[in-house]
Chain A
Amino acid sequence: MTRLIRSFLIILLTAFLSTGINRANEPVIPVKEGEHAEKFDAGKFVIEHVSDSYEWHIATFGETHISIPLPIILYSSNQGWNFFMSSKFHHGHETYKNFRIEHEGKNEGKIVELNLEGNVVGLPIDLSITKTVAGIFVSVIVLLLIFLNIAKSAKRRVNQAPAGMQNFFEPIILFVRDDIARPAIGEKKFEKFMPFLLTVFFFILINNLLGLVPIFPFGANVTGNIAVTLVLAVFTFFITTFSTNKHYWKEIYNPDVPWWLKFPVPLMPIVELTGVLTKPFVLMIRLFANMLAGHLIVTVFVSLIFIFARLFGVEGGFGISVVSVLFSVFMLLLDILVSFVQAYVFTFLSAMYFGMASPDHH
């Protein structure tokens, strides 16, 4: 049912996106100060909200942008290392130290390096603390605050009933241990994977939930960023690969199938090897797509208000706002559920892969 609703909404969304992109491709987009604020572009609005950026945009009043500047870290062969705050770009409208945020073309959204004549000469190596990275920092601080605190109280209250925050998180930790790790990995080996599984579970969960909070310093689309899910999946992949035993590799290179599936064309080994890579890939895509879709849909419902306001006047905007707000609230509640489900799914599948990496028999 959820999937149905979601796929429907995604279709809806693609329609919106394509209109946004079409408009972007139109030649008449002279981005001048003051002008772009008046015309509401739903596609751009939605995309800007979920995509990474060099500054943390909070609000726009008329022509004034309020945003938190973030550090830009660049390395180019011409200029070496460069550190400065993103406020130097003045929301992307100005060039600073021969760097500029590109707004169109194939490098759209990236920082490019210019020569003295103002032509693009290349892309610097960009290790900037973007909105996503800042969001990761925030969530990590929350994560550390919570769990170091719990660890402290766990150490203090030896053999006593849990209290406070410990009381709240212990059932979740026990859930990860007894309902995810233990059945998926097996009684003998699950303990050494527990730190990773718990970290991944709570990292995803807290990022998902903080991503739903629309107030600074939360609300960054962290788990809906493919680079983040890629790193998580890479961790799962490497831990799986490093905890394999010979049965695992035998299943891949010499599975128990009829010989003609292995010789002369090693069909099954190829399929199995593909499976090894697909597993983390699917982990990456699933989390990324689910969280991105959640963010997109909520933003789309909000932008509906402005679209209707433009099409049918202010009354139209007000009229649709009721529906939009209701749908947004519904989607947010759904996203809270999805946050838990995705954290669970990622952790559970990781645990399954760890368990499959060192099968006991066969």
Chain B
Amino acid sequence: MGFVTPDYGTIFWMLIIFGIVLFILKKFAWVPILKALKDREKSISDALNTAEKARKEVAGLKASNDQIIAEARREKDIILKEARDIKDKIVAGAKIQANAETLKSIENAKQQIIAEKSAAINEIKQQVAELSVMIAEIIIRKQLENPEDQERLVEDLLKDLKLK
């Protein structure tokens, strides 16, 4: 058998054997092996993707947490500001009211003072009047101690009456 002249018997057997082996290996070895490889690669890449997604989700959660915190802080600031405003308003209102109240009570006091004053003046007037009467009595009594004086007085009085 020459080296470079292919032997047809060998070709015949090789064709049959290689054909059968190709078929068997394809059906029972390569397809399942390649499928297993592909499946494993897919599951690994899926797992990696899921991990990546989870990582992103966590990052997203963190971002949204930060956002929520920032919002809460902002809200807190607003509330505080509002509270301060309200406080200021209340204080201011209270001041105004207090002022008004003070003014009112001052006014009242003034009026009372005036009233008391006039009452006191009236009393003084009365007492002055009484005192005057008493003084006048005393004076009259002294003047009327002698009967002529009495008579002259009556006459004066009568004169007044007659004139009328």
Residues of chain A having any CB pair with chain B under 8 Å: 50-52, 109-110, 126-130, 132-133, 136-137, 140, 143-144, 147-148, 150-151, 154-155, 157-160, 170, 173-174, 177, 191, 194-196, 198-199, 203, 225-228, 230-232, 234-235, 292
| Bound: A155/B5 CA distance, A | 44
Mark out the residues of chain B between 1 and 46 whose CB falls within 8 Å of any chain A CB in the assembled complex: 1-15, 17-18, 21-22, 24-26, 28-34, 36-37, 39-40, 43
Could you name 22 residue pairs across A and B whose Cβ atoms are closer than 8 Å? A52-B7, A109-B2, A132-B10, A136-B13, A144-B25, A148-B24, A151-B30, A151-B33, A155-B32, A159-B39, A159-B43, A191-B34, A194-B34, A196-B22, A199-B21, A203-B21, A227-B6, A227-B7, A228-B10, A231-B14, A231-B15, A235-B18
Contacts of A130 in B (CB 8 A): 7, 9-10
List chain B residues, Cβ under 8 A from A136.
13-14, 17-18
Decide: B10 and A143 in contact? CB cutoff 8 A.
Answer: no
A147 to B5, CA, bound (A): 33
Q: How far is A133 from B16 in the complex, measured between Cα atoms in Å?
A: 11
Given A199-B25, A226-B3, A231-B18: A127 in contact with B30 (beta carbons within 8 A): no
Which B residues form the contact surface with A (CB < 8 A)?
1-15, 17-18, 21-22, 24-26, 28-34, 36-37, 39-40, 43
- Tell me which of B5, B21, B40 contacts A226 (CB under 8 A): B5
Bound-complex Cα distance A234 to B18 (A): 11
A158, B34: Cβ atoms closer than 8 Å: no
B13 touches A147 (CB 8 A): no
- Return chain A residues, CB-CB under 8 Å to B25: 143-144, 147, 195, 198-199
Closest B residue to A134 using CB positions: B13
Which residue of chain B lies nearest to A198 when distances are taken between CB atoms in the complex? Answer: B30
Task: Verify A154–B36 contact, CB threshold 8 A.
Answer: yes
Known contacts A151-B28, A159-B39, A159-B40; is-contact A52 B10 (Cβ 8 Å) = yes
- Point out the residues of chain A lying under 8 angstroms from B43, CB to CB: 159
A211 CB to nearest chain B CB (Å): 15
Closest to B32 in A: A151
**What chain B residues lie within 8 Å of A155 (beta carbons)?**
32, 36
Beyond A51-B1, A136-B17, A230-B11, is A151–B29 a contact (Cβ under 8 Å)? Answer: yes
Number of A-B contacts (CB under 8 A): 119
Query: Chain B residues with Cβ under 8 A from A196's Cβ?
Result: 22, 26
Known: A198-B25, A235-B18. A133 touches B13 (CB 8 A): yes
Given A195-B22, A198-B25, A203-B18, the answer on whether A51 and B37 have CB atoms closer than 8 Å is no
Q: Is the CB of B30 within 8 A of A128?
A: no
Contacts of B6 in A (CB 8 A): 226-227, 230
Q: Is the pair A231, B21 in contact by a Cβ cutoff of 8 Å?
A: no
B34's partner among A133, A143, A144, A177 (CB-CB below 8 A) is A177
In the bound complex, do residue B1 and residue A52 qualify as a contact, i.e. CB atoms below 8 Å apart? yes
Indicate whether A147 sits within 8 Å of B33 (C-beta atoms), given known contacts A51-B3, A110-B1, A127-B9. Answer: yes
Say yes or no: A148 contacts B29, CB within 8 Å: yes
Alpha-carbon distance between A186 and B14 when the two chains are bound, in angstroms: 30
A150 near B29 with CB under 8 A, answer yes
Given A151-B33, A158-B36, A199-B26, 7 more contacts at CB 8 Å? A126-B8, A126-B9, A129-B13, A226-B3, A230-B6, A231-B11, A235-B22
The residue that B14 contacts in the complex, of A133, A158, A195, with Cβ under 8 A, is A133
Nearest chain A residue, comparing its CB with the CB of B4? A226
- A158 partner, pick from B10, B26, B30, B39, beta carbons under 8 A: B39
Q: Determine the chain B residues whose CB is within 8 A of the CB of A203 once the complex forms.
A: 18, 21
Which residue, B12, B24, B25, B34, has most C-beta atoms of chain A within 10 A?
B25
Nearest B-chain residue to A202, judged by Cβ: B25
CA–CA, A127 and B33, complex, Å: 35
On whether the beta carbons of B36 and A133 are closer than 8 Å, the reply is no
B22 shortest CB reach to chain A, Å: 5
